[in-house]
Structure 1
Amino acid sequence: MRRIAVTAAGTAVSVLLLLAAKPHHTVAVATPGASSGQAAVGGGSATGVRSVTGGTVQTQWGPVQLKVTLDGSKITAIAVLQQPDGTPRDAEINAQALPVLTREALAAQSAQIDAVSGATYTSQGYIGSLQSALDAAK
């Protein structure tokens, strides 16, 4: 009888700890295929100039995908390969948000950038695809 009580108490504590844990908020990123994941311009190493295509991130308004050019570990350019474009409003939002996101990413040299107000979904997709490309470049 004592074993049952100890087991029940242990189970209850475990469930409470799991429920108290804060969930991680992640962006779903489709991993790029092996052929499109890392296209080396100057070689496949961490040195030299190379381009890496990030995963396509599906947002509520459409896909976002980036191609990042690196010189060694320095981000030198970011090209938007896919962006939400279903409506004229999408084009208007992206025309304002994407250059800001690119400037911030180049300045920060990472995906640790702020979202653009009014373009939350595009920002999340941009950051997710950028992080995917940087992870593939390692």
Structure 2
Amino acid sequence: MRRAVLATTGISALVVALLALKPHQFPTLAGVAPQSPTSSASPHTPTTVSTGTGTFTGDPIDTQYGTVQVAATLTKGKITSVKVLRAPDQNGRDQQITSYALPRLTQEAIGAQSAHIDAVSGASYTSQGYMQSLQSALDRAHA
């Protein structure tokens, strides 16, 4: 009985330790060329919008499953909404993933006031395309 308790406790501690070591970086996606930020900030420093009012359309980003493109609406430099113009929808699975991921990505972007947000699990390619398109829209707002 004592061995079972020790084994269970040890395994639980190992799992917790491994989860704590999870890297907090964007996944590198095959077929998607990363775009370098246009600001002088480090890649891990969120780029926030400081000026701009209007709706700015981001670049269409080709992913393994289709093109992602968004338009960001800003009011006095604050992201007030993000509209998805294009998203992967070739089959039912694509539609299921985008219907789950895109609202979460939009909520994250508005909350963070940035394109530097966490990817949605199970939608890595769509998340990366969303973030890159949103960043290009925010770059246009700065111009």
TM range (shorter): 0.5 to 0.7
Aligned partner (choices 58, 63, 78) of residue 74 of structure 1: 78
More strand by share: 1
- What is the CA-CA distance between 1:96 and the residue it aligns to? 0.5
Tell me the amino acid that sits aligned with residue 34 of structure 2.
V
Provide the rounded CA distance (Å) in 1 between the counterparts of 2:35 and 2:61. Answer: 6
Q: Report runs of 4+ in structure 1 exceeding 6 Å deviation.
A: none
Tell me the amino acid that sits aligned with residue 132 of structure 1.
S
Match of 2:114 in 1: 110
3-state SS in 2 of match to 1:69: strand
Of all paired residues, the percent bearing the same amino acid is 53
- What is the CA-CA distance between 1:28 and the residue it aligns to? 5.5
Higher relative contact order (CA 8 A, sep 6+): 2
Provide the rounded CA distance (Å) in 2 between the counterparts of 1:84 and 1:70. Answer: 25
- Give structure 2 stretches of 5+ with no counterpart: 1-27, 37-50
TM-align CA RMSD? 1.6
- Give structure 1 stretches of 5+ with no counterpart: 1-24, 30-45
Match of 1:32 in 2: none
Q: Size of the alignment, in residue pairs?
A: 97
**Deviation string for 1:106-133 (max 9, x for gaps)?**
0000011000000000000000000000
- What is the CA-CA distance between 1:27 and the residue it aligns to? 2.7
Tell me the amino acid that sits aligned with residue 92 of structure 1.
Q
